[in-house]
Amino acid sequence: MNKKNLYGIVAILVVAATVLSACGPKATPTPAASTEVEVFSWWVGPGEADGLAAMVKVFNAQYPNIQFINAAVAGGAGTNAKAVLATRLAANDPPDSWQAHAGQETIANYVAAGQVLPLDDLFKSTGLDKVLPATLLPLISQNGHPYSVPVNIHRSNVLWYNPKVLAAAGVTANPKTDFATLDAFFAVCDQIKAAGKICLSLGAPWTAVHLFENIMIGTIGAQKWSGLWSTPPTTDWAGADVTAGIANFAKALSYTNADASTMTDWQPASKLVSDGDAAFNIMGDWAYGYFANAAPNGLALTPHTDFDWAVAPGTYGVFNFLSDSFVLPVGAKHPDATLDWLTVAASRPGQEAFNPLKGSICARTDCNQALFSEYSQDAAKDWTANVVVGSLFHGVVAAPAWAASITTAVGLFQADTTKTADFQAALVAACKSDGTCK
Amino acid sequence: MFRKFTLRVPRLILALALILGGAICVFFLWNVQLIIAGKNLTSIGILLAGLVFYTGIILIISMFQSETVLSIALLLPSMVAVAIFVYGFIGWSIRVSFTEWKGLNPDYTWAGLKQYYLLFQNNPRFVIDVRNTAMFTVGFILGCLIIGLGLAILLDQKLKGEALFRGIFLFPMSISFIASGVVWGWLMNPSTGNRITGINLIFQTLGLKSLISLWHSTPMPWGMAFTVIPAVWQLSGFTMALYMGGMRSISDDLREAARVDGASEFQIYRFIIFPMLQPVTLSAVIILGHMSLKIFDLIVALGNKAIGLDVPGIYMWTTTFDGTNYAQGAAIGVLMLVSVAILVVPYLIQNMRTETQL
């Protein structure tokens, strides 16, 4: 390199340094003013991003002096977002509030790590403690203190079906009323199988865990299901109830499509139902938006003729829920603004703005139902009247490490459904390794 | 080393200005955040300011007119970066793997070999992982070597349009494993009946119904064997390029001499070309082997985390980030590193020895 070039490069660097030092102070806002709130979520997809924007609109109208910073990270079910959040927490740079599945995913992660504060005062001041179902509060609390504000509620135990496939197979049973037991459901499955269709469609491997929890609830009932997760468990993991649930799960798997494991997510399995290749699909109520919404984000189908829904077999009167919620971090940079955000997230206007777009129902029981779809109105009635239990795969009842062990056990069982004893032993071991079982 | 020192005043002034300016910028950015157009650019600013600072130092060192000192000074930043970000973090992972860390807060309670013990003691998933990795590695390396060598021999026949074919065969390598995993997932769709698509549909249309396959959803353990197909498709062209490079470096005189001695073309390959390609094969095995031992992206795109297609990389991801079991995840990561090291380290040592001999 000759000298001229060298000096040229050096001159450029000098100029760059001058520019940097010149624009540095001007571009830096004063960090002391509590005029912003950074909210971290994984709501970037269709529907959910619109819902967040609608809720932010409500927030901006109520608190015009606070700037809302949307720190959303893309990636299904928050897999990427959770890794990014863990990094930020480890670096002691928490956002002002973040999205977390209500229940153990919040409690075993953030509460146990001492990273979030209890919200008793906020629950009282916003009246949230009065308008949530009584069975919900214990599921999102630790030692009687709630730690996160549930914004929405999704239902896990929904049976989606294609009425045309049922009619073609000569099924007379009505899924909304006649599947009080799993045996009644399996009897219909035999009919559908005989007609040459898939009875129960299954998607990507995680949907098998989703199916497992709903088959288990359908077998042992709400009370015993909740007993599996109490400390210490009042339902024996090694007992006959769980054995019966596993037997039903194996039977349910025998009615599923062979290519399930090659599906990329839950949508292909739901599409099997709407395409008329399968009769039933057990999936959370986010499937409603996929069936009913206009293209390109949905299939634009007509409810009751192209597709229909019922409560999952054996779980009538039970609401297996999951919920997205927001937390108040320890050492929040803008604690007052965070509380303002949480107040909006807990409020009726906030939840009424968010949920119709997201396709979920309000966590509050006093929302205006006219804003919601037909399915959501159905679900909201059950939300008030049913026994509420928590979902396993979606982070309500088990700590992440426990849920991950169960996911592995379900995967191994799915690969070889004859190993019932091994599966139950793995479930017992998972509970022990969590520390809940002795 | 420092015998020759030529003082150049203009350069010295410039160097001092850079050092001072850089240091001030670093100090300044350390305390105040740099935000331009809503993006926090503080760390990039500090990096640039540090570069300015270091340029000044290099300018001063350059006045000593010693190439050794200058080259060390130029290399030092990247050596420090590699030491911290590669070897430092390897060391940290090893440390975490000996702890009880589960959950978000670090827990450095000494656990000895417990995390490793849990993987090897009655852990059916890890057994599947090891078996799958072994199956994938063997199939992948053999497939790439055989097809790669075959393509190289074909292109070695000095035919027309060789450059075009070379490009076509090499092209799949430029696609990311994730993308080829998704596309091959569509091609190897195992659906049957009215939902039949992909390669199965071709087979059905051609009347080759016996070839219709469940592909990678074949029950354990053989489903894993099918994941080798996209991997070989993607990297056999690369292996071909390695072999072609090796063949080009074999002098034509040798072939001519063999022909004069009456060797057939087959014998030329068997007794002259193949033995001389042995170092290429070794390099190819090392490069392909270290890829397959830590494969993650292709398999996760094809298998969606199904247990039948599980590999240590996926197990590590789910354990660490879904299950927040950081100590166990670190143990799986360390085992992956060890398996790659067993393959690569002897090769590196041998390389270093030959280089010092030269």
| Chain B residues inside the 8 Å CB shell of A259 | 189-191, 214, 217
Q: How far apart are the C-alpha atoms of A245 and A396, rounded to whole Å?
A: 20
Secondary structure of residue A388 in the 3-state scheme: strand
Report yes or no: A248 and A215 within 8 Å, Cβ to Cβ: yes
Count of domains observed in chain A:
2
Position A6 scores a pLDDT of 58
Q: Is residue A360 situated within a structural domain?
A: yes
Q: Is residue A86 situated within a structural domain?
A: yes
Residues A341 and A426 in one domain: no
Residues A198 and A259 in one domain: yes
Position A28 scores a pLDDT of 44
Residues A198 and A134 in one domain: no
Which of A4, A5, A6, A10 would best serve as a mutation to test chain B binding (most B beta carbons within 10 A)? A10
Residues A286 and A239 in one domain: yes
Instruction: Indicate if the pLDDT at residue A135 is higher than 90.
Output: no
Span B123-357 CATH architecture = Orthogonal Bundle (1.10)
Residues A167 and A259 in one domain: yes
ipTM: 0.85
Q: How far apart are the C-alpha atoms of B70 and A78, rounded to whole Å?
A: 48
Position A23 scores a pLDDT of 47
CB pairs under 8 A between A and B: 152
Which of A14, A19, A20, A428 would best serve as a mutation to test chain B binding (most B beta carbons within 10 A)? A20
Position A247 scores a pLDDT of 97
CA B121 to chain centre: 30
Position A3 scores a pLDDT of 56
- In the chain, the amino acid numbered A348 is R
Reported as a single tens digit per residue, the pLDDT across A383-412 is 999 999 999 999 999 999 999 999 999 999
Q: How far apart are the C-alpha atoms of B101 and B90, rounded to whole Å?
A: 17
Average pLDDT, chain A: 90
Task: List the CATH number of the domain containing A267.
Answer: 3.40.190.10
Domain extent for A84: 36-152+323-374
Facing B191 at nearest CB: one of A25, A259, A408: A259
Residues A301 and A337 in one domain: no
Residues A148 and A164 in one domain: no
Beta bridge partners of A322: A154
Strands A198-201 and A308-311, how do they pair?
unpaired
Give the start-to-end residue ranges of the domains of chain B: 9-92, 123-357
Residues ≥6 apart with Cβ < 8 Å to A212: A249, A392, A410
B239: distance to nearest CA of chain A, Å?
A: 29
Q: Is residue A2 situated within a structural domain?
A: no
Residues A208 and A121 in one domain: no
Residues A316 and A327 in one domain: no
Which chain B residue shows the shortest CA-CA distance from A18? B21
Q: Is residue A276 situated within a structural domain?
A: yes
Q: pLDDT by residue for chain B (358 residues), tens digit each?
A: 556 778 888 889 999 999 999 999 998 888 887 777 767 788 888 999 999 999 999 999 888 888 888 899 999 999 999 999 999 999 999 999 999 998 888 889 999 999 999 999 889 999 999 999 999 999 999 999 999 999 999 998 888 888 899 999 999 999 999 999 999 999 999 988 888 899 999 999 999 988 998 999 888 889 999 999 999 999 999 999 999 999 999 988 999 999 999 999 899 999 999 999 999 999 999 999 999 999 999 999 998 899 999 999 999 999 998 888 999 999 999 999 999 999 999 888 988 888 776 6
Residues A427 and A282 in one domain: yes
Reported as a single tens digit per residue, the pLDDT across A16-32 is 555 555 444 444 444 44
Tell me phi and psi for residue B106, to 5 degrees: -60, 135
Name which of A165, A249, A247, A169 is nearest A211 in CA terms.
A249
Q: 């910028």: which residue's tokens?
A: B25
- Indicate yes or no: CB of A21 within 8 angstroms of CB of B303: no
Residues A195 and A88 in one domain: no
Residues 20-49 on A with a CB inside 8 Å of B are 20-21, 23-25, 27-29, 31
Residues A215 and A293 in one domain: yes
Please give the model's pTM, rounded to 2 decimal places: 0.88
